Each structure stands twice: as structure tokens, then as C-alpha cells.
Structure 1
Amino acid sequence: MSVETPPERKPITSCEQIDLSDWDFWARPIAEREHAFELLRERDTPVFFAEPELSFAPRGDGYHAIVRHADILAISRNPDVFSSGEGGATNIVDMPAEFAEYFGSMINMDDPRHARLRRIVSRAFTPKMIQKFEDDVRTAAAGIVDGLLEKGPGCDFVTEVAARLPLKIICDMMGIPEKDYGYVFDRSNVILGASDPEYVPSGDQNQIVTALLNAGLELQQLVQDLAAYRADNPTGDLTSSLVNANVDGERLTMQELGSFFILLVVAGNETTRNAISQGLLLLTRNPAEKARWLTDIDGHAPKAVEEIVRLASPVNYMRRKVTRDHELNGTLYKKGEKTVLYYWSANRDGAVFADPYRFDITRDPNPHVGFGGPGPHFCLGAHLARREITLMFRELLGRVPQIEAGRPQRLFSSFINGVKHLPCDF
């Protein structure tokens, strides 16, 4: 899995040249990938691709690439037919059983198991609790910008700004001490960036598996040790609420708590930091929109944040497996087949978004699927993510309005549309 650009790469001019399972596709520039998905959206029916070949997981029969906004909405609203629990939602191939211990969170479940876990978690992870942390988010964002101004121009916006806010908030919510922030950050990078040689240098598939499982084990152990202590010594943190939550006689097991923490760290930390990083890129490349936002920072924030999430689309896709034969929008999906929902493509669908590649902070309506499609798997932390992005840009635009992004170093991943490093100037 090399990130080197092939010297003889040909431009994509037809669907026959596209292979979403080929690692080389995900090393192409963003503009080339946008064009490829545009070609796929123009097809009458979804294209069927062979699955990626991995040494550590069985290769299935292939998958339908769902690239249109309307299809993704319809599939998301029909979880009985399009399952998240049969083989997992976060990987195209069916992952080995040992992965379930660490990554078998509710995102990879169907009802009734999914509903049970979401009910228990939702009782603790409520808007009221998020509101309690509102002042903490605001204080943290201000402190991060203080540090940015002290460091001066030329620093890495990802590590100094974008990554720090969601990491601090999630760790503080869970009661993870500050001394462990770096530990959590490094392991979350491995989980979502295992295919990138910066995080698993060799690129060997067996070493990638080992790195993934070790990172999952270490994060799970961290929160389970804390939970064991909080069971008898509760505080106001989320770990205390989760470990002591009793909803109609149901509690989280320690394994479920560990898997939820991994989901929270990965989904709530990595995706928000990528939205913030790509938000700065969008503002740098669209100075007129930045100038417009500066005319009314708070007034434009709600729509601007939605537009950032739409174009950033931090999670490229989720997978579903068909539980019974089903026809949708003229296509017959057969029992056992896989569908991969490319949110990144749906958020650029010209049938829904006028001038879809344009960054417009006043876009309305903006029915993006950056937090997933409608239905039971819509992102539980969407409200928190919106607040973090809003408050971070309030601080940046209010105090460092001249800040601009340099050339990004992008994460090599088919799953996450990420930025690893981003120099900034002001």
C-alpha cells in the first residue's frame, strides 16, 4: 500500500478506469477523485466493484458503490434491509472476529442490540451534558488560539489547533487526565490512519492488523481501568454516567464501554479535527466567503459550519449488507450483497446541491450527509461537533482573521478524508 504517485498515471475519462478498491485511486488528487465520482453518479445504476484484497480478511463477492444522494437517503432510512451489523459498517470486507472486541461498537450493530446500546448511552450523552461543557469548549478554544499566537506563523494548524480542541473536550468529558491526551491521540491516529506509512511505516498488512489491534486494546484498557474506579468513585464525567447507567435494568458491559470509547475518540476526535482543518483550507481558497463571514461571525456561523462539514465530508463511506432481495430506484439488490454509501460523493451531487463544488457559507437548504444519512445511525455527537467547529472559528476569525492555510499533507486512506498536517500563516 504505497502512497507514491505512479509516474504513468492516466487521467480518468470513463467509469471503466475507476476502481474504488485500488489504493492508487485514493492517492490521486482531490479534483481527480471528484471527477471520478461525478462519472459514477451519471450512470443509470450503481457500479459494482470487486472488494479490496487483504491478507487478514476474506475477500467477498464485491459491492455496489452508492454515490447518489437520493440512494444514500433511501438506504439509510431502511436499516431492516440494509444492515450495519452483518460484518461491520466501517469496512468493505468482513472483518475478522478478533476486531469485534475493540471495534464492535453500536455503529456496527443493528436493532435490537443497536437500540439497546444507544438507549443507554443517550441517557448519559445528552444535550444537557453537552451544554454543561459549553463553557469548557469556549475556554479551550480561546486557550488554543492563545497558544497559536504565542507559537507564531508557520506552525502546524492540525496539531496545534484543529486536533487539540476535540481531543481535549472528549478526554475531559470522559474524565481522561491531561497526561494521557497524547496517548489517546497517537492511538486514534493509528486506528484511522493505519494505511498511511506515517502511522504504520512498513505498510505490511500483517503489521497493520497488529497495530490496529494493539491501539484498540490500549484505548479500551485505558477507559476500562478508569471505569472500574468510577464505579465506586463517581464524578460528573461521562465515564461515571456510563458505568453507572441503569436503563430499565440494563447496563453497559466493560467490553461495550471500551468499544464505545474507541468510537467516541475516533468519530468525535478525528472527524471534527478534519472538519476544522479543511474549514481553514476552504476559507483560504475562498477569500470572498471568508470576508463575508467576517462581516457577521456569529450570524453566518450556523450555515457556514454546515457548508464546511458538507465539503469536508470527513468520513468517506459506510457499508451496509442486504438482508433480503430489495428493489430501490430501479436497481435490484440481492440478499447478501454489499452496498457502500459514499457520503463524500453524495455531498457533491449536483441533483441536490446547486454548483456543488462551490463553497457558499450562506447555502440554504443544505441537506448534506456529513454526519451520516437519516435513520438510527445518524451521528450521536453531531451537536457537539457543530459546537466545537463553531466556537473554534469564532475564536480564529475574531482574533486571527488574517490566518491562512498552506499546502496540506493529506491522510492516505479510503475511509477518512483527512488532513495530517497543515502549515498556517498569519
Structure 2
Amino acid sequence: MSLVANTGKLAGRTLFITGASRGIGKAIALKAAKDGANVVVAAKTAEPHPKLPGTIYTTAEEIEAVGGKALPCIVDVREEKQIQKAIDDAVKKFNGIDILINNASAISLTGTAQTDMKRYDLMHNINTRGTFLASKLCLPLLKNSDHAHILNLSPPLNMHPYWFSVHVAYTMAKYGMSMCVLGMSEEFKQFNIGVNALWPKTAIATAAIEMLTGDTSTSRKPDIVSDAAYVMLCKDPKKYTGNFEIDEDVLKQFGISDMTPYACDPKNADNLLLDGFLDDPVAIKHHRLAMNNPPVRRYHTSSVNYKEKSEPSGQIPELFALIGKNITPELIKKTQAVFQFNVKGKEEGVWHLDLKNGEGSCGQGEPKHPADATLTMDSNNFAEMFAGKIKATNAFMMGKLKIKGDLQKAMKLEKMMKSLKNKA
């Protein structure tokens, strides 16, 4: 649902949008198309994905259905020739390019040891290099426009170590996009080209995120980002450049105070999952405490199915007793991960949950097999998380949960806990 009315400001303007076949890129394309803009849909998806809807051709049809003109182009932003061909085709069809949206991005929320170099190269080649390359190749055409903008979907340059420690490879790749804003906004001032960055305050419910987490109830719709982008792109590029904007802040300055309509679930409008790279005081306080506290004690005990062990008292043992009774082959096949839990506070100890090997196991002590993800949190928060009172993603972003290892597998835990809770 859009709360920003179309004004026609972008009518006849040509937007070159990378990664525009779905998600935020597509939402921005459709918002501009309602003004009567021309959109170059520059993305890789020419054939339908088995799980993710949308191709460059279906997006082009939607653009034209709302009043815009579209040019679908098969573009891998790692390939210079493909970008240049799309630019040349745009010149032939639309006589130029006014606005470049660098939206294409690859993500892997993994620590240093868990990030293979193929994935590292993919993120840096798409995020940083692809953004630089598309900007470089579009520059001659942007110089000829009287309303030239470059907008990168990238975060503010927050130098707090926390945002590097959790996924340094991804952080560097996204910050590469942001550094393009920092440098090019100054470099291109002489050409009257506005270069800015936009980042969502909360998680955004795209098809990819839904496939990854299986839950968008604490996310906002892509409309909040496309509305903010529209407001930014309608501004005078001669005066508006070098800004690192947050979607909610842009809309508040525009005059929209109630963000509830953007929430996927209005009941969660005040309990949304914060996006990364933002200076959330709770998350930073947690990080500082974690850095100052001594490491948690480690218990070297054998890894066996919990029901085979004697059952000590306390809420954590009770939780693992319930989990142990509900481990199934289906759950193991679906999850394929080993978790270690470092519990602090009243019931300090180390616990494990193996949903990857053999018939699975859970109980006190470290796992027999290497953990894919290690989660550290207070025993009270741990109990609330497994009881479904707080979500793992929310706990992580609020600083109540610290994760080392494969973050994507750790976030699968949320869906698995919901399933276990229902069975329990």
C-alpha cells in the first residue's frame, strides 16, 4: 500500500534499475511507472524461478499495465558487455537514461570461517563492483540529463565493529556500494548528478526473505522503500546529493507519521524486526557487554539423545525434554543443522540440538558434530524464545541473542521452534 501520491514528476524519465524483476527493485519500477516513466528492467531472471515469482518479462508487463513503458534486458551486473548492451538498447528506445537504481545485491550472513570464497567473490562482484560498473557506464548519459540521479540500495556507513563482526564479508560488500555514494556524490556534483543511498529501517517482506525465513509477520511491505525512493528521486539532484537515508525517516520528513499501513501484520507494527547496520542502542550495548564479559564456561559431556539422560530440574532442561520427544526424520531433513546454545544467567550451561546427523539428538553439553551456529543468550530470554514469546530474529536484532556461525541456519531455528512448540 502506497501512502505517497504520484505527482507525474517522473513522467517521461528513463530509469535503469538493476535487479528489477522482483522485490524492492520491482516495487520502485512500478511506483515510477505510475508517473508514466520508462523503465529498463535490468536483471538476470529471464526464465521463471521454481520458488521465486517474477521475470524481467512479467515485470515489464506489469510496468506497462500501470502506465509506464518497459524495456526488459537480461543483465548480470558482473558482465560489462551485458550492462553496456542494455544501456545501448535504452538509448535506442528511450533516447537516454535519467536515473540509475543500483539495487542488485547478493547476501550471505556468514562469519569468516563459514564464508567460502566463491560466495565472497559473488557478493563483492555484484554488490560493490556491479554498482561501480553500472554507475561508470551510465555516467555519460546521466551527464546529458537535466534530472540525473543515482540511488544505491545500501546502508549508512556505520563503523561500529558489531556490524563487521557478525558477517564481515557481506558488510564489506554492502559498504562498497555506500562508498560509491560517498565518493561519486562529490565527484559528480560538477555534472549536477545527485548520488544518494536508501536503506530500510526494518526487514522488508520480499519473496526471497519469505523463502529464507518462512515468516514476514515482523516485516514491512516493499511499498515503504519504493515510496521513500520516489520522494528522493523527485528532488532536485543539484541540491540533493550525498545523503544516506532511512526509508522511515524520508517519509516522516515528507509528512507521513503513521507507518502502520506498511506493516505486513498491523498487530506487529510496533514490534518489527530492525534491519542491520543501524545504530540501535540495545544492540550496541549488548555488543559492548559481550566484549567485556568473560567467556561462558564450556561443559565437555557426551552428546546423547536427551531422553537417555537423567533429567535435572529447571526450565531449560524441561524445554529440551520437550524438544527431544518431538525430533522426527522430517524435522531433521528440513533443518539440516547443528546448534549449540551457550545459556547465561540463572541456568548457565551449554546445550545442543543436532538436527542433521543420524536420528538427531539434543541435551546438555556440546554437540558431537561441529555446530553450524552457536547461540548465546540469557536463560530467561532463551525460555521465552522457545515458548514463542519472542522471535529469534527479533531477539538477535535487539541484542538479546548473539549468533556465531551460519546466520541463515540460525534463523531457520525460528520456524523449527514454532513447529516444535505446536507439537509440544
Structure with more of its chain in helix, by fraction: 1
Structure with the greater relative contact order (CA < 8 A, sep ≥ 6): 1 or 2? 1
TM over 0.5: no
- Which protein is richer in strand relative to its size? 2
Using structure 2 for the length normalisation, give the TM-score.
0.24
Q: TM-score, normalized by length of structure 1? A: 0.24
Compare CA radii of gyration and give the structure with the larger one: 2
